[in-house]
Amino acid sequence: MELTFVEKKLRQALSAKRYRHSVGVSQTAAELAERFDADIDRATVAGLLHDCARELPNKTLLKRAADSAIVVGSLEESSPVLLHAVVSARLAAEEYGVQDEAVLRAIALHTTGGAGMGKLDKIIFLADFIEPGRIFPGVDRLRDLADRNLDKAVLAAFDQTIRHLLDKGMVIHPASVAGRNELLLSLHDK
């Protein structure tokens, strides 16, 4: 798989704004991988492709999920956009030629996070929050944490998302709660 092929194809699949976001996530993920001793090439590709299905219409997301035997829960049914993570992983494999399971898994986990996240999963999840184009209250604190401690930064990102969803009266994906609890407990043990 060649990076220029991926970049060209992705540029056609996404709006200019989301393409810029994807490049930002890719570069941030590469920096995090270097800082925390993960595979930089994997981080670069996963960052680039994490949102490759993000602009597909809901109908298409649901259809691709059904075609790939992806389990669609009631949360995903009411909010098909949640499926863009797993469908992006499928497209990365089928249309962009990514065969690396670790990359595909990091893409699939980037929206909700979940229990059992590995280093690359955490890096992509976090890079999606803190890439340079992101502006939201608290982002600088997350960037500061990300300079020093990957787990604490990911935990803060979970907390921030869950707090935001609570404030807005929105549903919280159980995978996010599971990911947050596991990380919190593992940090307590240290």
Binding site for Fe ion (CB under 5 A): 51, 128
Q: Which is nearer to Fe ion, 53 or 187 (CB)?
A: 53
Q: Which is nearer to Fe ion, 57 or 190 (CB)?
A: 57
d(CA 106, CA 97) in angstroms, rounded, equals 16
Nearest distance in Å: CB 40, Fe ion: 19
Residue 120, both tokens: 């690359």
d(CA 128, CA 151) in angstroms, rounded, equals 15
Nearest distance in Å: CB 188, Fe ion: 29
For residue 77, give the amino acid letter.
E
Q: Which is nearer to Fe ion, 51 or 151 (CB)?
A: 51
CB under 8 Å, gap of 24 or more: what pairs does 64-73 form?
64/90, 64/91
Nearest distance in Å: CB 51, Fe ion: 4
d(CA 184, CA 97) in angstroms, rounded, equals 36
Nearest distance in Å: CB 185, Fe ion: 26
Nearest distance in Å: CB 60, Fe ion: 16
Q: Which is nearer to Fe ion, 112 or 151 (CB)?
A: 112
Q: Which is nearer to Fe ion, 128 or 151 (CB)?
A: 128
Q: Which is nearer to Fe ion, 121 or 128 (CB)?
A: 128
**Backbone dihedral angles phi then psi of residue 48, each to the nearest 5 degrees:** -60, -45
Residue 73, both tokens: 């829960």
Nearest distance in Å: CB 47, Fe ion: 9
| Residue-wise DSSP of 130-190 | HSTT---TTHHHHHHHHHH-HHHHHHHHHHHHHHHHHHTT----HHHHHHHHHHHHHHHT-
